[in-house]
Chains A and B, each alone.
Chain A
């Protein structure tokens, strides 16, 4: 059985999922990629919005308005730091 992810690992997975999609992702895709319930993902997104790591925008496509999530500069920087932290943790097996 896989162990439960901690908060930082979840944030890392969310930000990585956005980055993997070129920095812009649909909320439904993110929900699928981050493997969280809708409510839990909303909580994380609110926190990431508050910290200015991501931005929610509305994009018009073929007369439809779509919600998109964008990874901001601070988000990229934080993701980079988290990547290093992950490597540090793995190096020592912490």
Chain B
């Protein structure tokens, strides 16, 4: 894939910002859990903890790749947790799946485990696991988005609209990552995908800050 060299390092920066946003959302969810003792907040925090870890893995690998180059021992070791590695894909999917479970109140452990195992099997045995990961993410985010749209129409609340917009941006990000394989100007889509992802987490963080910083 022809990613422009100037974007190496910049991608780590964008991923770092998304990681910070995920960690802050996790903190707000945990604060809600401490206040209410309701487990749904704990699980929401856990979901963003997983997403935060996945962004941490991406940030650190891309940063070290930028500093030491692709051939260093450290970078080759970090490829096991980088974007595209099974670790990265599964931990991100786990985060999305928990968000879906919390907002749809789908607490049937067997169904959740089954969905996760199907994703695991797909990713482990696919010839193009990364593409499959983005497709799985797209499907999960589609259902999250659907629920968020319903929620917005129910509440007509600006923060609910922001949360909806956030998941929409994340969905667009994954769509752009999928289209990379089918177009010639893939580097533009790769950069845009990163930007949309960051905007998504930024919108989510903005919604949280609007709630908690009053």
Chain A residues packing against B (C-beta within 8 Å): 8, 81-82, 84-85, 87-94
A44 vs chain B, min Cβ distance (A): 16
Q: Which residues of B contact A87 (CB under 8 A)?
A: 157, 159, 211
Cβ of A90 and Cβ of B103 under 8 Å apart? no
> Which of chain A's residues has its CB closest to B162's CB?
A91
Cβ of A93 and Cβ of B212 under 8 Å apart? no
Q: Which of B13-21, B60-68, B122-130, B143-151 contacts A (4 or more CB under 8 A)?
A: B143-151
Cβ of A84 and Cβ of B212 under 8 Å apart? yes
Q: Which residues of A contact B148 (CB under 8 A)?
A: 92-93
Instruction: Tell me the total A-B contact number using a CB cutoff of 8 A.
Output: 52
Q: Which residues of A contact B212 (CB under 8 A)?
A: 84, 88
In the assembled complex, B85 has its CB within 8 A of some CB on chain A = no
B42 vs chain A, min Cβ distance (A): 12
Cβ of B32 and Cβ of A85 under 8 Å apart? yes
Cβ of A85 and Cβ of B163 under 8 Å apart? no
A-B contact pairs, 19 of them (CB 8 A): A8-B36, A81-B35, A82-B35, A84-B211, A84-B212, A85-B32, A87-B211, A88-B28, A88-B211, A88-B212, A89-B32, A90-B155, A91-B157, A92-B102, A92-B103, A92-B151, A93-B147, A94-B41, A94-B103
Cβ of B36 and Cβ of A90 under 8 Å apart? no
> Which of chain A's residues has its CB closest to B161's CB?
A91
Selected from A82, A90, A94, the residue in CB contact (under 8 A) with B159 is: A90
Instruction: Count residues of B near A (Cβ-Cβ below 8 Å).
Output: 26
In the assembled complex, the Cα of A8 lies from the Cα of B162 at a distance in Å of 25
Cβ of B160 and Cβ of A90 under 8 Å apart? yes
In the assembled complex, the Cα of A87 lies from the Cα of B162 at a distance in Å of 13
Cβ of B160 and Cβ of A94 under 8 Å apart? no
Selected from A81, A85, A88, A93, the residue in CB contact (under 8 A) with B208 is: A88
In the assembled complex, the Cα of A17 lies from the Cα of B40 at a distance in Å of 27
Selected from B36, B41, B151, B214, the residue in CB contact (under 8 A) with A93 is: B151
Q: A84-B211, A84-B214 are in contact. Are A91 and B163 (CB under 8 A)?
A: yes
In the assembled complex, the Cα of A11 lies from the Cα of B211 at a distance in Å of 20
Q: Which residues of A contact B171 (CB under 8 A)?
A: none
Known interface pairs A91-B211, A92-B103; 15 further A-B residue pairs with C-beta atoms within 8 A, sorted by A's residue number: A8-B36, A8-B38, A82-B35, A84-B211, A84-B212, A84-B214, A85-B36, A87-B211, A88-B28, A90-B155, A90-B159, A91-B160, A91-B163, A92-B160, A93-B155
